[in-house]
Structure 1
Amino acid sequence: MSEANQVLGEQKRTNVRWMIVVLLFFVTAINYGDRATLAIAGKPLSDAVGIDAAGMGWIFSAFSWAYVLGQLPGGWLLDKFGSKRVYFYSIFFWSLFTLMQAGIGLFTGVWALITLFSLRFLVGLAESPSFPGNSRIAAAWFPANERATAVSIFNSAQYFATVIFAPIMGWLTVELGWQSVFIFMGVLGILISIVWLKVIYDPKEHPRANAAEVAYIEAGGALVNMDQKKDDGKKEGPKFGYVKQLLTNRMLVGVYLGQYCINCLTFFFITWFPIYLATERGLDLKSVGFAAAVPAICGFAGGILGGIISDRLMKKTNSLSIARKTPIVLGMLFSMTMVFCNYVDSIGMVILFMSMAFFGKGIGALGWAVMADTAPKEISGLAGGLFNMCGNLSGIVSPIAIGYIVNATGKFEWALVFVAVHALVAAFSFLFIVGPIKRMELKSID
């Protein structure tokens, strides 16, 4: 009997890994809540300080400019200093910069635009290690046959953020003013950063995880030694020369392209979707918050279901390719139902089609599970950072493109087509470009 099996046979294992993923869920919900503050407070804020739709498109993109630029340095910092420390500073500072946006009313016109762009840029820079950090923690704490469920839990927090925070932020905007949205989200994030320090540890160092749990997750392929120091007490930083190997790997290139397209849907929903409901469909701010929550609930359900389906397929087929690709491809194709909104007038039908699209997007949002499965163990943070950088280029392009489409046409019809085409390309990429899904092995470099 192996040492791992012996430990498992003598001791009932703990389930600390699920407590870890619950915290990742709440941190990620706050992460997306901070990103979405402008989607709710944007209209009264822009009216108050004098920023037009094209200007708001640039401000929406400010987060992603920094987020993209920060991915490789953020991934490097995670690999160099570990997930716990780097992620704590990430949470604290993105929350602080969110809080500071409450003072944007001190400026008007071009100075308001510059100041708000700068603060959103800083939020994006501070958040850049977050999802590579999530992926590293999932790879360290979860065996392969539980990893998609774990990833789908924290990834579905983006929908939970809309379900919970959109109504709260809508109410705050109407009752207390748009400034209260930034104060609420900023203070909440600073408080959760303190909780982070008390809960997050590496698997072998966690005071509540016993040897049986560590042996179980390690036997299932978890990278439990990811943040361990060498015998000399030092932890070697990753080499950026490995980036070339990542970018010339067909499997990862296909995954990166797919994530770029999936994120087009994500950024539409967290930036322009509430404005679409307010301007194109004539809903008031309170109604927008609650109406946006309905598709988000469907996205949340789809996100959890996608992970469960993927892990069940993994157990039945023992094939990562089948287990991960099936939900992604089918989910992306189903999300294209959003274009039907162009052919209906009823707000109920609009919410129905958007809910279907949200549900499909949720099922297909398994890119981070694929990254946890494929990233080279030596540079999982750097690989995740590159993945997130490529994916979030869409956060720069999409809000700006949609802003100009709406400005040029006066409607959202072609904007919805623009988003749906990205879903189709995502399905194509995972189906025909990615190939077999497996962990990439690095070639040594000097």
Structure 2
Amino acid sequence: MIGKYRWRIAALLFFAGMLNYLDRAALSVVAPMLKGELHIDDAQMGFIFSSFFIGYCALCFVGGWAADRFGPKRVFAWAAGGWSIFCGLTAVITGYVQLLVFRVLFGMGEGPMGTTTNKAITNWFPREEAGRALGLTNCGQPLGAALAGPIVGLVALNFGWRISFVVIALLGLTWLAAWLLIFKDTPAQHPKVGAAERDMIQRSREEPVIEGVQEHRSLASCIFSAPVLAVATAFFCFNYVLYFFLTWLPSYLMDFQHLDVKSMSIVGVIPWLGAAVGFLGGGIATDALGKKLGSVIAARKLMLVVGLGIAAACVLLTTRVSTLGLAVTCITVSSVFLFVTPQICWSLIQDIVPRNRVGGTGGFVHLLANLAGIIAPSLTGLLVQFGGGYNVAFMVTAAVCALGMVVVIVAVRGQQARHVPSTV
């Protein structure tokens, strides 16, 4: 390995993802307490969960475009400051409407995160390490969700649920200070990056294009191409399952499996640890499979199909088991295979569009994918309250996950990548 500074950047992005998902999962952990205090029912709680993604989706594409235009350092700095402040302000809410508004603003702060992370990795890592880098940095996200149970749950039990949001906000502002001190937009701008490491990253970043597609493409031609739309659909289906778990798993464990807050905080960690294994292992396995098959795109397609297919089967199986242990096992196995897929989606964007369109295209894909965050929590709340309960919600989630597998099989068929020297 030539040089190591890029892995410090990966560590920064890892902790950003951890904090991001700790922030997001916090509300779901305290939802049973909050619902009682503010007199909110399940359907209303679903709308509150979804309101975050209204703001989130609004800034996904803008954040990706801004990362291309202004660089990931400035975009991530503004985003992290925004989400930390509005997460902290959750502590002062007094009613349903106020909570809805704050969740939208909080979502706007987190909107640029995914695309800006992908842009930073595009700038800082050679192409052959993209899967590993994305797997490593993104595995911080489920670990953050895992930590939400014990950290937020125990703080809420001992000091009240409002204090937990203040603690998370302070952690976010601490990360922001580290980001401003350590990160630069490119290796060439950083005085601590050696010439060998800079050259190795630059040489590997030749422009990838798909056969039959013009090498110099507009942003519109990138985002509306069939492979990109297929990636967006697969990402949407992944996100539907993710946000179903992220928003409703604590309530499922308490309302359906009859756990108390303390037990839920411990048991709820297990699926997210499985997700971290999937994130990290999926990135390593995809890079290795690409070398063996001689095609990174074929490897990523195969891993997407396997991951989404097994995840769908395990989510559906959850409705057929009768004990807490078996239910948690099914959810955990589904999480392992489900979380193989998101870094593959991000890697495919790097593989099938020019480097100077990675941010904008990634933002568009992220926007479409995170519409699932608006749909899944609200639909689940309605299903739980009016549509047959948690088992029906699990069945719908499994069907959506299976849809993603089918789209990848059909729409990514036959794509081959070749490389041309970068003009960026």
- Give the alignment's TM-score, normalised by structure 1: 0.88
Deviation at 1:19, TM superposition (A): 1.1
Note if 1:211 corresponds to 2:189. Answer: no
2:37 is aligned with 1:48? yes
| Segment drifting more, 147-156 vs 68-77 | 68-77
Deviations 1:340-364 (A, max 9, x none): 2212221111111111111111222
Distance 2:126 2:266 in 1: 37
State the partner residue of 1:321: 297
Partner of residue 265, structure 2: 289
Indicate the residue corresponding to 2:398 in structure 1. Answer: 420
Aligned to 1:176: 159
Mapped pair 1:91 → 2:80? yes
Instruction: Provide Cα deviations, 1:41-89, integer angstroms capped at 9, x if missing partner.
Output: 1111121011111111111001111111112222222122111011111
Q: Does 1:368 align with 2:346?
A: yes
- Cα separation, 1, equivalents of 2:388 and 2:403: 26
- Whether the 8 Å contact between 1:267 and 1:395 is mirrored in structure 2 is yes
Q: 2:411 aligned with 1:433, yes or no?
A: yes
Deviation at 1:437, TM superposition (A): 5.7
Q: Is the 8 A contact 2:61 2:363 kept in 1?
A: yes
Does 1:221 pair with 2:198? no
> 1:276 and 1:142, CA in 2 relative to 1: closer, same or farther beyond 3 A?
same
Alignment-mate amino acid for residue 76 of structure 2? Y
Partner Cα separation in structure 1 for residue 252 and residue 104 of structure 2:
24
The code of the aligned residue for 1:344 comes to: V
The alpha carbon displacement at 1:409 in A equals: 3.5
Name the stretch that deviates more: 350-359 or 318-327.
318-327
8 Å contact 2:295–2:417 — kept in the other structure?
A: no
Q: Counterparts of 1:259 and 1:120 in 2: how far apart (Å)? A: 23
Distance 2:397 2:375 in 1: 11
Kindly indicate whether residue 8 of structure 2 is the aligned counterpart of residue 24 of structure 1: no
Gap regions ≥5 residues in structure 1: 1-11, 224-240, 442-446
Amino acid at match of 1:48: E
Which ranges of 4 or more aligned residues in structure 1 deviate by more than 6 Å? Answer: none
State the distance in 2 between where 1:116 and 1:150 align: 36
SS in structure 2 of the partner of residue 70 of structure 1: helix
Indicate whether 1:244 and 2:244 are aligned.
no
- TM superposition shift of 1:318: 2.8
Note if contact 2:231-2:345 (Cα within 8 Å) is conserved in structure 1. yes
SS of alignment partner, residue 370 of structure 2: helix
* 2:252 is equivalent to residue 298 of structure 1: no
Looking at structure 2, the residues matched to 438 and 272 of structure 1 have their Cα atoms a distance apart, in angstroms, of 40
Structure-2 residue corresponding to 1:271: 247
For 1:283 and 1:439, the matched residues in 2 are separated by 53
Given that residues 37 and 182 in structure 1 are in contact (C-alpha distance below 8 angstroms), is that contact kept between their aligned partners in structure 2? yes
Q: Which residue of 2 aligns with 1:150?
A: 133
- Separation of aligned partners in 1, 2:416 and 2:84: 36
CA RMSD of aligned residues (A): 1.8
The question of whether the paired residues in 1 share the 8 Å contact of 2:91 and 2:162 is answered with yes
Question: 1-side partners of 2:308 and 2:293: how far apart?
Answer: 22
SS in 2 for 1:414: helix
Matches of 1:277 and 1:78, distance apart in 2: 39
Specify the SS of the correspondent of 2:268. helix
CA positional deviation for 1:410: 5.1
> Greater shift after overlay, 361-370 or 413-422?
361-370
CA distance in 1, matches of 2:255, 2:81: 34
Aligned to 1:236: none
Out of 40, 44, 60, the position equivalent to 2:49 is 60
What do the CA deviations read for 1:19-58 (whole angstroms, capped 9, x no partner)?
A: 1111101001101111111110111112101111111111
CA distance in 2: counterparts of 1:429 and 1:439, whole angstroms: 23
Kindly state the Cα deviation for residue 425 of structure 1 after the two structures are TM-superposed.
1.1
How far is the alpha carbon of 1:379 from its aligned partner? 2.5
1:222-262 Cα distance to aligned partner (Å, 9 max, x none): 78xxxxxxxxxxxxxxxxx9453234311111111111111
| Aligned equivalents of 2:59, 2:322: Cα separation in 1 | 42
